[in-house]
Structure 1
Amino acid sequence: MSDLARGVMFSILTVIFGVLTSMLVKELAQELSIIRILIFRFWFALPILILCAFLIHKKKLFFVNNKLAMALRVILGLSSITLVFLALQNISLGLATALFQSSIIFVTLASPMLLGEKIGVYRWSAVVIGMIGVLFITNPFSSELSVGIIYGILAAFTGAALSIILRKLGKSDSPFTITLIHNFFGAFVVSSVGLTIFPTQLTASHEGNVWLLLLLLGILASFLQLSVTLAYRYADAVVVTTLRYLQLPAAGIAGFLYFSETPTSLELIGASAIFVSSLVIVWREFVRKTVNTPEETKLAL
């Protein structure tokens, strides 16, 4: 199997694991607090991640070069996953996924200032279309703005900031180590917060099927992060990013079939605008990299 085929395979697995993880969070959030779901998600994900990092890096599985960027990755990662879970608890699966996917729009907006990238007319046009899509979904002129939509937008902002940090961190450190440290600190931080601030939310007993779902969530979360890491290892980032946008229609279909969620016309228009705008941004990134690739490199591909 070629590297590209492996990259495509892991990208598709990322979409599948991403949708299944979101469905599990939404299902569990109907009877459990978010802090409890987060605690077990982090702890149950750790064994597989520790094993993979140890097999690759042996005793240096916790070694990082850029400690400041790693600290920011942990903070932004914890903030992002908390907001994602809160959004999934309060709004439909398809709507939440559409808002999460809009993070690439905010990355594009921040790129000139934070990454020194030049943004052309195509990508600026895509950003405008994407922002219009966000406006359609949030519907700011309505009488009420759903708290779940606010969580979704904040998740997109933190996800965008996280993407920028990961771009910098990926140049100096192993993605397996980055993932392990994020989950390791996440497990201790959310457990400490739960025990000190929300102790009453951790005392309720669970039925056996709830424990099974929590264990499955942790395992799927570890598979999700590993599949993302391996997808970027074997395929170009543009290929991986494009395929990951399959998660938007997949989440909409899953929400309709499993949770009986029916989007409004405005939500459909907004999600479609975000989807199209994100694909245009990815396409222009591909064109930009192709133009900047030396002819000898193209022939070698």
Structure 2
Amino acid sequence: MISKVQFRLQFLVLLWGFTGVFGKLVTLSALPMVWYRVLIAAIAVFIYMKYKKIDFKVSKNTLLKLLGIGGIVGMHWFTFYLSIKVSNVSIALSTLSMGALFTAVLEPIFYRRKINLYEVLLAVVVSACVVVIFNASPEYKMGIIYGIICSFLSALFAVFNSRIQKDAVPTQVTFYEMIGGIITISLVMLFFQPSGFEEVFTVSWSNLGWLTLLGVIFTAYAQIESVDLFKYVSAYTMLLNVNLEPVYGIILASLIFGDSEQMTPVFYIATAVMVLSIVVNGLVKAKFSK
């Protein structure tokens, strides 16, 4: 029988799987899109904290950490949507599974524990699947590269977030991380894509509607929930379950966008192996926990 934590985790991954769809629904370029996403999420969390009378006060050290992690989150989303813009939703989501490999290496470094050979081998299987996808879809080369960078950033902030939740409540973490994301994306846009500000100030009502939904439900709520779940699961378990994100996202994208999301059989086989790795991980961990 599925536990409450497992149900929450899978629902969270389903929400994340849907975020890729917004990459096509919103016609803004990647930077302005992420700028709006973090801004709307920050406003939503601010209103929620005011309503619930949650204290905004955190230590200076924690604040700086949260702003820094928020910058990583912002760049993670930027590379994610950049991957979608230059390829498609399926490619961007499938490469996220590389996060398991990066986490298997990063967690031992930050937690000062021995590298778990089993975790590394399982992550290598996932990485091999990405290589197969790369060879089967060379026309999406840049999308895959941006997706791999995105997966590394996801592993990095997952490891950091799994530690920071001890110093602040989930709403505080999410609020200040979104502020950090706004600052980082604004600076990147200022120095590398000034034209992005023109898109920000001329956004259409339809784009704003999609962005509001993305910011409130799929970002503010999802981020608070993910930080809270780190009380019960490790960063590695979180990232390995995120491997289901491509499955949810690819199914949703295929239903919504049709032929533009159709991939080769090799792509779907590689994605299926990724899902199998999650099942194997769950079975092995359940056996050892007993």
**TM-score (structure 2 length as normaliser):** 0.81
Question: Aligned pair 1:272/2:272, yes or no?
Answer: yes
Question: Aligned pair 1:209/2:217, yes or no?
Answer: no
Q: Which amino acid aligns with 1:248?
A: P
3-state SS of the aligned residue for 1:157?
Answer: helix
CA distance in 1, matches of 2:72, 2:240: 23
After TM superposition, the structure 1 = structure 2 runs for residues 195-234 of structure 1, keeping only pairs within 5 Å, are 195=190, 197-204=192-199, 205-220=202-217, 221-232=219-230
3-state SS of the aligned residue for 2:54?
Answer: helix
Cα distance, 1:269 vs structure 2: 2.6
CA distance in 2, matches of 1:180, 1:286: 35
After TM superposition, the structure 1 = structure 2 runs for residues 1-301 of structure 1, keeping only pairs within 5 Å, are 4-5=3-4, 7-28=5-26, 31-54=27-50, 58-63=54-59, 65-66=61-62, 69-139=65-135, 146-195=141-190, 197-204=192-199, 205-220=202-217, 221-232=219-230, 236=233, 244-260=242-258, 261-287=261-287, 290=289
Q: Which amino acid aligns with 2:29?
A: S
CA distance in 2, matches of 1:131, 1:225: 26
CA distance in 1, matches of 2:196, 2:233: 43
CA distance in 1, matches of 2:73, 2:154: 8
CA contact (8 A) 2:100 2:240 kept: no
- Change in Cα spacing, 1:280 to 1:54, as seen in structure 2 (3 Å) is farther
Q: Which amino acid aligns with 1:185?
A: G
Cα distance, 1:107 vs structure 2: 0.8
Structure 1 window deviating more from structure 2 (195-204 vs 167-176): it is 195-204
Q: Which amino acid aligns with 1:226?
A: I
State the number of aligned residues.
283
- Change in Cα spacing, 1:262 to 1:107, as seen in structure 2 (3 Å) is same
Which 4+ runs in 1 deviate beyond 6 A? 238-242
- Change in Cα spacing, 1:228 to 1:181, as seen in structure 2 (3 Å) is same
CA-based RMSD: 3.2
CA distance in 2, matches of 1:32, 1:196: 18
Q: Which amino acid aligns with 2:76?
A: S
Q: Percent identity?
A: 18
CA contact (8 A) 2:66 2:180 kept: no
Q: Deviations over 1:223-265 (max 9, x none)?
A: 22133234445x5558866765443321121121112211212
Q: Deviations over 1:76-106 (max 9, x none)?
A: 2222121111112222322321211330222
Cα distance, 1:150 vs structure 2: 0.4
CA distance in 2, matches of 1:253, 1:10: 20
CA contact (8 A) 1:242 1:282 kept: no
1 or 2, which has the higher helix percentage? 2
Structure 1 window deviating more from structure 2 (110-119 vs 221-230): it is 110-119
Structure 1 window deviating more from structure 2 (217-226 vs 59-68): it is 59-68
> Runs of 5+ in structure 2 lacking a partner?
none
Cα distance, 1:185 vs structure 2: 2.2
Higher RCO structure (Cα 8 Å, ≥6 apart): 1
Cα distance, 1:64 vs structure 2: 5.8
CA contact (8 A) 2:71 2:184 kept: no
